Amino acid sequence: MRDQDRDQGVKVSGFQDYKKDISTPVQYLKGVGPRLAKILSKLGIHTIEDLIYYFPRDYEDRRNISQISKLRIPEEKVFVKGTIAHVENQKKPGRLSILKVTLQDISGSIKLIFFNQPFLLKVFYPGVALLVSGKVEFNSYEGAFQLVPRDWEIDEGEPLKIVPVYNLTEGLFAKTLRNIIKTALDQYLSSLKEPLPDEILKENRLIDILEAVKNLHFPQELKIVEEAKRRIIFEDFFVFQVGLGNRKKEIKTLDGIKFNSNADLLSDFPLPFKLTGAQERVLDEILNDMSQDRPMNRLIQGDVGSGKTVVAAMAAFVAIKNGYQVAIMAPTEILAQQHYEKFIKWFGAIPVAARLIALLLVTGTTQSKNKRELIEADVVVGTHALIQEKIKFKKLGLVVVDEQHRFGVLQRAELGNKGRRQNLAPMHPDVLFMTATPIPRSLALTLYGDLDRSIIDEMPPGRQPVKTYYVSNSKRRNSYEFIRTKIKEGRQVFVVCPLVKETEKSDLKAAVEESEYLQEDVFPEFKIGLIHGKMKQTEKDRIMNEFRDNKIQLLVSTTVIEVGIDVPNASIMMIEHSERFGLSQLHQLRGRIGRGVHESFCFLMGNPKSQDARVRIKAMIDSTDGFKIAEVDLRLRGPGDFCGVRQSGLPEFRMADIVRDEKILQVARDSAFKYLASDPHLEKTPQLKKSLVNRYGRFLGY
């Protein structure tokens, strides 16, 4: 494309007027071209819009230039300006190379250290003027201070005093990126449309989109940057929460089942214990949902052992008494089997409509004959095969999904749709999600903002908190003797290993070898069992049944026992290489003990060398509160990795961080839901609707 054609906005190669269309591929921007466009794509920049919204990660205040002679404070972050006096490239054993550049100003000189960047020899030579920001270090070997650059560029007398600092990639220089972003803003900024309604801007004292973008890239003062950041963060959250609010509203317009949820229906439910106040409150919320003529879409959060399952069972009992079927989905066959046994115990002898309640277990290994019987069963317990297989329910009224904290908004919507398609009755079934993974508030407002939430925040009486200790290898024998004493008293033990079998490349303990070692060398007088995910289901079932019956005193396992295993007599857990596990996973594993009346102990074995590992271990020792632990875990790992939510995906925000910006998230959510009440179909603000669909449509299923 000729430059004069670009300047006149001529339609070339099928692209519309590039000056007005921010969806134009970035390669057609003056100064970019195919080669640079390919490099920019590594940063996720494909269009002009991507470029405009590629914000700086930091700013460099070039009004404060340090004199080289005064760089005497280790770890100090500084900005210097000088001329290259000498360049030396040292090759070390292997592929390591160190480029040492002597930079000088009128006050003195200092060495700049570049690791594994020999290509800079083509750029650095005596007489070249540089602008450098970095961290001061003291080189004890040479007895002199040196500077490890964070960013640098050739000094060409640029007038900018506050310079944006962007994340770069190989082949892209800071000044090049600044120049093309400036070109994009000069030509396209005026074409950006304001997605936020005027009243939202005024109520929240936000600057408009044009001013925010301009001040984020090229601010005149640093204080303006914070105001611009707040504006973009608010927009990220507001637009997304509008989408969640719409999703929640849509569910309430569907045809649901209006159950008779009178408390008298539960009079013959075989309640194994008195409900806690929290359980009663959550049950009331569920029964109120079930009495409405729109589908229930509720999440029950509760720490391990808080009694979520019995509350769900009571809801299932109400559905059955109303003549409907119940599907209960679990993530693993072990947990599905355990739920099935519990429901047999609770429901197996109760008549309904002049017959006993019929229950059926369905997993991936279930025979096809059983799958045809699903239409007749009152309660069907199973894995995801319940929804994924092409099976029909005669009259499905309630779906209970256990441990599905990895479902995203779109997946939950699809689950509800499948429930209806497999239901011969015309109404949408109620859906009840349960998770023993405590979800921090900020993440819950994002991932579960379309659900009504209930929290069981009270443990049943008599449950004792698990005492947790870090045990170094030097104290391992003491732990073994303690375990021996407790087994002789009648207790049982879990030993969790991170691997199934040892490998040549790993020094981690593996379950197979550990079970052999413990049986032969440590506890020959006790029966030791082994369970892991690679075993056949029949073998896993046999081992778990023997452990429940105390025929096995110590069970060596991988994390296959992380979810749902309930053996009240197990009161000790030893977790090998605990520093290799995530905090949420450690908490889940610990939840397998402390479920009975006996005092329980968790031993965290290992060698936590990193700071994060030490923080995880300390959090486990200091607290048994799952929500407090989840907050620490979220701060450590970030929302993308928390609970494996990358599998369901997180919305991609331009600047917002749900941990750092939780206060803005709450304000934006309140504003979004309030605005939807006045403009439910976004008819007054088509630009808001367009922004919602373009940015979050895939995540929300638009």
Strands 325-329 and 297-302: unpaired
Examine the pLDDT at 166 and tell me if it is beyond 80: yes
Q: Which of 202-216, 252-266, 317-331, 487-501 has the lowest mean pLDDT?
A: 252-266
**Residue 357: which of 334, 340, 370 has the closest Cα?**
340
**Residue 610: which of 580, 585, 587 has the closest Cα?**
580
- The pLDDT, as a whole number, for residue 1 is 37
Tell me: the pLDDT tens digits for 214-229? 999 999 888 899 999 9
CA distance 207 to 617: 44
Q: Which two tokens stand for residue 556?
A: 């060596």
**Positive or negative, the Cα torsion across 87, 92, 98, 102?**
negative
Cβ(604)–Cβ(575) below 8 Å: yes
Cβ(242)–Cβ(653) below 8 Å: no
CA distance 285 to 271: 18
Tokens 């949820």 -> residue? 261
The more confident residue out of 604 and 377 is 604
Q: Which two tokens stand for residue 627?
A: 């929500």
CA distance 574 to 461: 25
**Mean predicted lDDT score pLDDT of the chain:** 84
Query: How large is the average pLDDT for residues 13-30?
Result: 70
Query: How large is the average pLDDT for residues 6-24?
Result: 50
What does the DSSP assignment read for 442-500?
HHHHHHSTTSEEEEE--PPTTPPPPEEEEE-GGGHHHHHHHHHHHHHTT-EEEEE-SBS
Examine the pLDDT at 314 and tell me if it is beyond 50: yes
DSSP state of 614: H
How sure is the predictor about 641, in pLDDT bands with cuts at 50, 70 and 90? low
- The pLDDT, as a whole number, for residue 506 is 59
CA distance 385 to 363: 6
CA distance 54 to 232: 12
**Residue 530: which of 509, 552, 551, 498 has the closest Cα?**
552
Query: How large is the average pLDDT for residues 302-316?
Result: 86
* Range among 1-5, 249-253, 659-663 rated most confident: 659-663
Cα–Cα distances in Å, from 597 out to 488, 545, 569, 644?
Answer: 17, 20, 8, 33
- The pLDDT, as a whole number, for residue 562 is 62
CA distance 688 to 196: 6
Tokens 């109520």 -> residue? 203
CA distance 455 to 5: 62
What is the reported pTM?
0.74
Radius of gyration (Cα) for the chain, nearest Å? 31
Examine the pLDDT at 647 and tell me if it is beyond 50: no
Tell me: the pLDDT tens digits for 62-113? 788 889 988 888 888 888 999 999 998 888 777 788 889 999 999 999 999 9
- For residue 222, the tally of other CB atoms under 10 A from its CB is 11
As a whole number of angstroms, the longest Cα–Cα distance in the chain is 99
* Sheet with 570-575: strands ordered across: 467-471, 601-605, 570-575, 492-496, 554-557, 528-531
Identity of residue 530: L
How sure is the predictor about 365, in pLDDT bands with cuts at 50, 70 and 90? low
Q: Rounded to the nearest 5°, which phi and psi values hold at 585?
A: -65, -40
Tell me: the pLDDT tens digits for 392-426? 778 889 989 886 555 555 556 666 665 566 666 66
Q: Rounded to the nearest 5°, which phi and psi values hold at 18?
A: -65, -20
Half-sphere exposure at residue 517, Cβ-oriented, CA atoms within 13 angstroms = 12
Cα–Cα distances in Å, from 612 out to 38, 522, 581, 644?
Answer: 36, 32, 11, 18
Tokens 């479902």 -> residue? 407
Examine the pLDDT at 261 and tell me if it is beyond 80: yes
Specify the 3-state DSSP secondary structure of 581: coil
Q: Which two tokens stand for residue 19?
A: 């000056």
